[in-house]
Amino acid sequence: MRWSDFPKWGTWLGDWAARYHAGLRDRPVRARTKPGEIAAQLPQSPPEEPQPLDDVIADFERIVMPGMTHWQHPRFFAYFPSNAAPAAVLADQIVTVMAPQCMLWQTSPAATEMETRMMDWLRQAIALPEAFQGVIQDSASSATLAAMLTLRERALGWQGNEAGLSGQPRLRVYASAEVHTSIDRAIWVSGIGQENLVRIPTTGPLRAMDTEALDAAIRADLAAGYRPAGIIACTGGTGTGACDDIAATCDVAEKHGLFTHVDAAWAGAAMIVPEFRSLWAAVERADSVVLNPHKWLGTQFDLSAHFVKSPEDLTRTLAIQPEYLKTHGADGVINYSEWSVPLGRRFRALKLWFLIRAYGLTGLRTRIRNHVAWSAALCERLRATPGFEIVTEPVLSLFTFRHAPEGTRDTDAHNLALVNAINDDGRIYLTQTRVNGALVIRFQAGQFDATEADVATAFDVITEIAATLKE
């Protein structure tokens, strides 16, 4: 294939994309293939000679598409959304054609300066104070790792990178069980170790960290000779939407001189809506905050916004400057590769620019408000339906429920059978989690093109299939 062939196939792609999205409601949300079924259709060895692109595309439709779970489906109610608004997709296509590597200012000045401005636009949209500066990471996992490395270095007097962890004081990091498992992985990769992630019990309807227990755990660790290093708080935890009391958490952190990172990967996007900001009140007191525009806001994966109060601490932890990466004759420029673990960087800011300009903050707020309202209405319909129980109340557009009709002998097994039957049906897609050890079903609304009717369909499917289950 040559660039001279691209107009033909670019036109095909545009038509295919429009048809794909227009027909999503007619497809099952989750793939129905069995393990190994796709691989069995792929040749064991690569072709020696070029093959016609018509054949490649025909095989794509025949082999690949049946094995795809459709994250852009308007009735994708599982996990959290990974949206792809068409304006953002268009921007990413432009970037893909140029294929720039944006590791330094000099390797693509527009990408660096666009990132600086877009992070400031987003900072203003979520009402973070000017003290915060932002960087685009690939995912919240990477942002959390960067925060973990920073708090490690700060706690060790900036000696961890230089001297290693052997012989250093044993560091401790604090979080509830409601935080994402990316925190566990960051603990591993940073060398702090799983045993030093101290789990704090939760309390209240939002399943927030018990800050009295947090303070007691820190004091106990100090008495035992450990060195407390930081606290990971969450706003909108993955399982049930748990939200820590950021103000009370920061009170404890400031008392003991600890770094605080707030994981708001999903819920942070909703902070463009003023009435939802109470969920992370006092977030301006944290040292580091992450949210994912590639979830609820509308940009496609990957684009994670990491805001830090002290960029100097972040770059002191991560920056490395061999001669070939120095930018001479341009003092004061930002090289965002010094703000993240990977050296290579894609031009992600362009899709955020296209998104915000194409829909406006007003349009994006309307979508989020709708999802929250529609999810709350579904919750109330299920609550009023005999046999259903609401286990955790809605946090934004996320709630959990279970089906427990009279006479059910094993509620966990019954609800696992229900969620599996729902997903096999194909009209909607849900996931399960556990609350206080019991298996429950999660529901969240957040797909960019979802409608009120799509959410109403969830009620029909859930209740219809629940009525067919036999003990």
- For residue 471, what pLDDT band results from cuts at 50, 70 and 90? low
Residues 341 and 378 in one domain: no
Please state, in angstroms and rounded to a whole number, the distance separating the CA atoms of residues 412 and 415. 5
Residue where a domain stops, chosen among 54, 70, 86:
70
Residue where a domain stops, chosen among 346, 372, 392:
346
**Average pLDDT of every residue of the chain:** 93
The region of weakest confidence among 57-61, 235-239, 323-327 is: 323-327
Residue with tokens 């409608």: 451
Structural domain total, the chain: 3
Higher pLDDT, 103 or 120: 120
What average pLDDT does this structure show over 123-149?
95
Most confident of 108-112, 180-184, 283-287: 283-287
Residues 34 and 165 in one domain: no
A 10 A CB-CB count for 405 gives: 14
A 10 A CB-CB count for 213 gives: 18
A 10 A CB-CB count for 127 gives: 12
Higher pLDDT, 470 or 330: 470
Residue 60 located in a structural domain: yes
Strands 208-209 and 227-234: unpaired
For the cut 90, the answer to whether the pLDDT of residue 333 exceeds it is: no
For the cut 50, the answer to whether the pLDDT of residue 216 exceeds it is: yes
Among 446, 466, 283, 453, CA closest to 371: 446
What average pLDDT does this structure show over 188-205?
94
HEC states along 238-304?
Answer: CCCCCECCHHHHHHHHHHHCCEEEEECCCHHHHHHCHHHHHHHCCHHHCCEEEECHHHHHCCCCCCE
Query: How distant is the alpha carbon of residue 206 from its chain centre?
Result: 19
What pLDDT shows up at residue 325? Answer: 55
For the entire predicted model, the pTM comes to 0.91
For the cut 80, the answer to whether the pLDDT of residue 189 exceeds it is: yes
What average pLDDT does this structure show over 350-378?
96
What pLDDT shows up at residue 464? Answer: 96
Residue where a domain stops, chosen among 70, 90, 119:
70
Please state, in angstroms and rounded to a whole number, the distance separating the CA atoms of residues 152 and 173. 9
Give me the CATH number covering residue 384: 3.90.1150.170
What pLDDT shows up at residue 329? Answer: 44
For the cut 90, the answer to whether the pLDDT of residue 334 exceeds it is: no
Domain residues for the domain of 8 are 3-70
Among 398, 377, 82, 416, CA closest to 242: 398
**Those residues with Cβ within 8 angstroms of residue 382's Cβ, 6 or more apart along the chain or in another chain:** 388, 390, 401, 459, 462, 463
Residues 157 and 296 in one domain: yes
Residues 284 and 228 in one domain: yes
Residues 316 and 394 in one domain: no
Higher pLDDT, 57 or 105: 57
For the cut 90, the answer to whether the pLDDT of residue 324 exceeds it is: no
Higher pLDDT, 428 or 406: 428
For the cut 70, the answer to whether the pLDDT of residue 322 exceeds it is: no
Residues 224 and 322 in one domain: yes
